[in-house]
Structure formats: structure tokens, C-alpha cells
Amino acid sequence: MRPSTSMSADGPFNLYNAVVTAADKASANRGVLVVMNDTVLDGRDVTKTNTTDVATFKSVNYGPLGYLHNGKIDYQRTPARKHTSDTPFDVSKLNELPKVGIVYNYANASDLPAKALVDAGYDGIVSAGVGNGNLYKTVFDTLATAAKNALQSCVLPAYRRALPLRMLKWMMRNTALWPPVH
């Protein structure tokens, strides 16, 4: 978003479009919506793609839900995944959230941070790094062992999407198809 002091600040119009979207009955039961730059996005799919571009928020994998034209919404699609109270993510019965740590992945990455999280009893590990989800071999081996033993959840960010634990287990079984980086 441009600053309010710029020649063509976009904030006021983004706010107007957000109010139009929230007031429109067609927006009901669509979950969290993000409205910027005349575009309506699903809150679960939105990604910031640039630090200064006014069209920085995008739904890279699925595309926008709709567009705004002259104060009217033209919805193109409905979110297919469950959202809000229907989502499988339910914390109402938890006394505390699971401990989840982040391990940064890069060429020649050490497995020490991953081992430290496993040894500290973390419930989940997020591997943040390369776009296609590959892990450096030592990190892959540590997470694979942890997944076999006690790790309840492991999320591997791939190019603007997250892969669940079942994908790590698939990768462990099919290393010829998805080899760890050496």
C-alpha cells in the first residue's frame, strides 16, 4: 500500500472496497476475506509477494475469489476448503497450544537447530526455506527420524503453500523421486 502522503494513496479506496465487500450479502459464509487493489482474496490463501507493490497480496495457488468494479463485487469462485468454525483446527479443548519451532533450511544447513527442537520436546517443526520443499540431507534425516518417533506435525513450506506431515512421510518412502539435497 502506498503511504497516505503519496500522490495516489490507495488506502482510502481499499478501505471503501473492504466495507462494500463486508456489507454485500454475497460475501456471507466465505470465511475471512482480504480486499485490496479491487481484488477479493480468501484469507487462507493470501500471500504478501512484494514490500511496496500495491498489488502485493495475491492468492498465488488458487487465484482471487472476485473483483470489485464501481462499488459492486463480481465473485468468480467460492472457497472449497472449510473455514472459520468449520475448520478442523479447533483449539477450544486445549489448555495450551502445541509447541512449534521454526528451522531455516538452506544449502549446507546444519541439523543442530532441528535436533534441539526435537530434544526439547517440540510438538511440531516448520521448515522455512527453499521454494519446492526440499530439505538439506541432514535436516531431512533428523525430521524423518523425529516423524517416525514422536513428532506430531511437521509442515514443510513449499512455494507459497504448506505440505502436511503425510507429505514428509511420503518423501521418506520415495527418496528416489524426491531426494534430499546433499
CATH fold group of domain 90-173: Rossmann fold (3.40.50)
Q: What is the pLDDT along the chain (182 residues), one digit of tens a residue?
A: 677 787 888 888 999 999 999 999 999 989 889 999 999 999 888 888 877 788 888 888 889 999 999 999 999 998 877 766 676 667 788 898 888 888 888 878 899 999 999 899 888 888 776 665 667 788 888 888 887 776 765 555 555 555 555 666 666 665 544 445 54
> Where are the domains positioned within the chain?
11-84, 90-173
Q: Note the pTM of the prediction, 2 decimals.
A: 0.59
CATH 3.60.15.10 is the classification of domain 11-84: no
User: 90-173: same fold as 11-84?
Assistant: yes
> What pLDDT shows up at residue 41?
95
Mapping DSSP onto H, E and C, the string for the chain reads CCCCCCCCCCHHHHHHHHHHHHHCHHHCCCCCEEEECCEEEECCCCEECCCCCCCCEECCCCCCCEEEECCEEEECCCCCCCCHHHCCCCCCCCCCCCCEEEEECCCCCCCHHHHHHHHCCCCEEEEECCCCCCCEHHHHHHHHHHHHHCCCEEEEEECCEEECHHHHHHHHHCCCCCCCEC
Q: Looking at residue 35, what is its pLDDT? A: 95
